[in-house]
Amino acid sequence: MSNTTDKKLKTQEGIVVSDKMDKSVVVEVQRFTRHPLYERVLRRSTRFHAHDEENRCRVGDRVLIAECRPISKTKCWRVVEVLAKGE
């Protein structure tokens, strides 16, 4: 009975906005929410620091990241796969 395989990990899909760090990237994830009063659809974005072991991600790449144990003070996500290469 393994408790690591039973748990469903949270995943996000976003675009790499920075790859200047070693083995780390900054991924921006966009979400859409409705304004409570005016009901206009708003675009909100969140930046996550993700662990990239092989340094394979570049700026503009669309990547899939998954939640993991804390790797550093700001990193608790890791890059699962590169979905599309950037320009």
Q: Going residue by residue through the chain, which has 87 residues, state the pLDDT in tens, using 9 for 90 and above.
A: 445 565 788 999 999 999 999 999 999 999 999 999 999 999 999 999 999 999 999 999 999 999 999 999 999 999 999 999 987
Lookup: tokens for 42: 């708003």
pLDDT of residue 8: 82
Q: Does this model's pTM top 0.95? A: no
Q: Where are the domains of the chain?
A: 3-84
3-84 CATH pick, 2.40.50.140, 2.60.120.380, 3.90.850.10, 3.40.50.970: 2.40.50.140
- Other beta carbons within 10 angstroms of residue 56's beta carbon come to 13
Do residues 21 and 1 lie in contact, with contact meaning Cβ atoms separated by under 8 Å? no
pLDDT of residue 46: 98
Give the contacts of 43 (CB within 8 A, at least 6 positions apart): 30, 31, 32
